Amino acid sequence: MYSKITGTGSYLPEKVMTNKDLEKIVDTTDEWIFERTGIKKRHVVTDEKTSELAVEAAKLALEMAGKTAEDLDLIIVATTTSDLIFPSTACLVQERLDNHGAAAFDVQAVCTGFVYALATADKFIKSGTHKCALVIGAETISRLLDWNDRGTCVLFGDGAGAVILEASEEPGILSTHLHADGKYKDLLKVDSPDMSSSEYERVKQGEVYLTMKGNEVFRMAVNTLGRIVDETLEANNMQKSDVDWLVPHQANIRIINATAKKLKVSTDHVVITVHEHGNTSAASIPLALDVAVRDGRIKRGETLLLEGFGGGFTWGSALIKF
Ligand code: ACO
């Protein structure tokens, strides 16, 4: 028994912030941001919540798969920016989709969150207990940014991506590989809010925000993603040339190019959305996947390598026969 992706969907909030818009907020330039990161613009929420973005992406994935919410028996949302401390965003999505009774929970592995969630759903389906899963990566990371810190606020954006994963006798997800090392917890983090006031209020007051030692994260990301490419191919007895598409986490074009070089994949076979979306954390991989499926680049039967790296540190990959 395999699990197979039968539908994809994504959603971006309406408000767009270009690098030029950021020039008015912090001491930066369009040229610096584009040259160092590859980012031109990003979408940011005004007052939409993570669950609202997630639901829109989910509806499109369900439609492509030809399924209704009633068919779902598992809902997993990867997010670091849940609407509430609890209930989980997955339960809020479930309520809005009008599904009653599916298992629903969140997974938190920051930018690797979607790969963690996909691996979890794959194992549920392969074990035979579940048949139709909705797996979402959704974030409103803009809520966690210090808009006075030019080193971080230019890097991120908001959005959501979703897939429907169904039990199948044909190969779909071939393998998943998950890792973490909490030793690096301080290089990229958001301190916990004081529970005596609402998280939202404290974020608004600028008391809780994302901090990152960018250079060190960059070095670790490049080395680690190179290693996980080898691990994934070895586990499947495959060559680099067997991979049709690399669908990487979209943090920085220089990290993406370094991984593509390691894989010896030409950039024509790498899905790149970082210029349009920025780093949308757990949403970035399913967003990129959906863009390339809907514009016809990724076709049925092709082999995809998804890989991500994020706070924790966490990192992971999934090899997929689409
Ligand atoms: N505009 C202009 N100058 C800037 C900006 C900006 N937006 N940001 C930083 N600078 C300045 C710095 O102050 C520094 O100036 P100085 O030399 O006078 O001190 C100079 O630019 C160089 O700064 P660096 O931090 O060394 O720049 P670098 O080339 O490393 O790029 C970046 C920074 C883009 C953050 C890069 O390190 C990076 O992409 N890191 C990895 C991020 C990542 O992959 N995250 C993944 C996980 S994200 C997650 O899990 C949520």
Q: Is 4 helix (H, G, I), strand (E, B) or coil?
A: strand
Q: What is the pLDDT of residues 54-82, one digit of tens each?
A: 999 999 999 999 999 999 999 999 999 99
pLDDT confidence of residue 204 = 55
For residues 286-303, give the mean pLDDT: 98
Domain ranges of the chain: 1-322
User: How many angstroms does the Cα of residue 9 sit away from the middle of ligand 1?
Assistant: 31
Find the mean pLDDT for residues 186-212.
69
Model pTM score: 0.95
The set of protein residues with a Cβ atom below 6 angstroms from ligand 1 is 28, 32-33, 36-37, 110-111, 150-151, 154-155, 188, 214-215, 217-218, 221, 251-252, 255, 279, 281, 309-311
| 162 neighbors 135 (Cβ within 8 angstroms) | yes
Burial (0-12, 13-18, 19+ Cβ within 10 Å), 239: exposed
How far is it, in rounded angstroms, from Cα 293 to Cα 289?
6
pLDDT of residue 262: 84
> Residue 263's pLDDT is what?
84
Q: Which residue carries 């610096």 as its tokens? A: 32
Amino acid at 167: A
What token pair was written down for 218?
A: 């960059």
Nearest CA to ligand 1 atom 8: 151
Token pair, residue 259, equals: 């991984």
Which is the closest atom of ligand 1 to the Cα of 37?
34
* % residues pLDDT > 90 (the chain): 89
- Beta bridge partners, 320, equal 173, 304
Ligand 1 atom at minimal distance to the Cα of residue 80: 51
List active site positions: 111, 249, 279
E strands present in the chain: 2-11, 16-18, 41-43, 74-78, 103-107, 132-139, 159-168, 173-180, 188-190, 210-212, 245-248, 303-310, 314-321
Pick the CATH number of 1-322 from 3.40.47.10, 1.10.540.10, 3.40.50.2300, 3.20.20.140: 3.40.47.10
- Closest residue (by CA) to atom 45 of ligand 1? 251
- The CA 307 to ligand 1 mean position distance, Å, reads 22
- End-to-end, the C-alpha distance of the chain in Å comes to 15
**pLDDT tens profile 90-126:** 999 999 999 999 999 999 999 999 999 999 999 999 9
pLDDT higher than threshold 80 for residue 195: no
Question: Residue 214 Cα, ligand 1 centroid: separation in angstroms?
Answer: 5
